Amino acid sequence: MGKLNLSTTTQNNSNLESFFQQRVDQFLKTHIKSNNIIDESIVYALEAPGKRVRPTLLYLVSDALTLELDHADAIAGALETIHTYSLVHDDLPCMDDDDLRRGQPSLHKKYNEATAVLAGDAMQSMAIEMLLDNQHFTEKQNNLLAKMLLETIGSKGMILGQALDIEYESREANESEILLMCELKTGVLIEFCFLAPLMIADASNEKWERLGKIVGISFQLIDDLLDLQETSENLGKKSQKDIIRNKKNYPISFGEKKTVELLDAYKAEANNLLQELNLDEHYLSNYIMNLFDRRI
């Protein structure tokens, strides 16, 4: 049932979440020194109060597979760095054009557009360096992880998802196209939180893989619902923006009711998979179930 001594590290879910948040933040702090304007802007984006969902999932899946947490630090740091780069570029005027991110001015507002493009580019290199420099794994394992991450975020993964998101602003998209777009632009990076430790532990199986896929797609569906239902103040980013930009996300195209029904079905399936994987008493189960109920 995992190596983490939860009784000594944390008493409840919120302590556990801040334990993982602090852990990845500490890793990032020691890896990124603010020596120049690009590093300074990267620290600005990374230190902003994000939820650290991807590192937390990565640590919990690693623990469930009885991997050591310090072996996962570099993967957690790389994931948060890639995720933050995607937000920095997503906020640019040529993308989703958002002035507010994580409750503070977007990077291009605090600095300028050129700095935001360059900082995002540098964050991608930085993340891959973190994986390749991980002293806890063999060179072969580090190379495999780097290749997996590059495929995940490349032109057949996250970037394609973002390209489809933009393409659908000017044309209709059917249900399977929208679900694929959700999986690519957001889901695949979350799936990586499952697939990376599974690869290291040599423990891949269909149930784990399906769990990662469902959690990833659901995360975007919930994000789309929250965009319609919550205030900008609560989200720390501009809400109601998808309708204004003619986005074809799931609730806009098929309604909030159908989105909630789909999410209920995914949540029930995730719950069953967690039980079949004998994880119902592991904190990963609590964390995943709470992700389905999140309001930020």
Determine, following the binding rule CB under 6 A, whether residue 184 of this chain makes contact with ligand GRG.
no
What is the footprint of ligand GRG within residues 129-168 (CB under 6 A)? Answer: 158-159, 162
Q: Which residue has the tokens 């063999």?
A: 138
Is 51 a residue that touches ligand GRG (CB under 6 A)?
Answer: yes
When asked if residue 191 is in the footprint of ligand GRG (CB under 6 A), the reply is: no
Q: Which of 23, 108, 185, 248 binds ligand GRG (CB under 6 A)?
A: 185
Q: Which of 223, 230, 256, 269 binds ligand GRG (CB under 6 A)?
A: 223
Q: How many residues bind ligand GRG (CB under 6 A)?
A: 18
Query: Given candidates 29, 31, 102, 110, which one binds ligand GRG under the rule CB under 6 A?
Result: 102
Which residues, 6+ apart, have CB-to-CB distance to 42 below 8 Å?
32, 119, 122, 123, 126
CA–CA distance, 242 with 165 (Å, rounded to integer) = 11
Among 186, 218, 253, 285, binds ligand GRG (CB under 6 A): 186
89 belongs to the binding site for ligand GRG (CB under 6 A): yes
Whether the CB-CB separation of 194 and 211 falls below 8 Å is answered with yes
Can you give the binding site for ligand GRG, defined by CB under 6 A?
50-51, 53, 83, 86-87, 89-90, 95, 102, 158-159, 162, 185-186, 219-220, 223
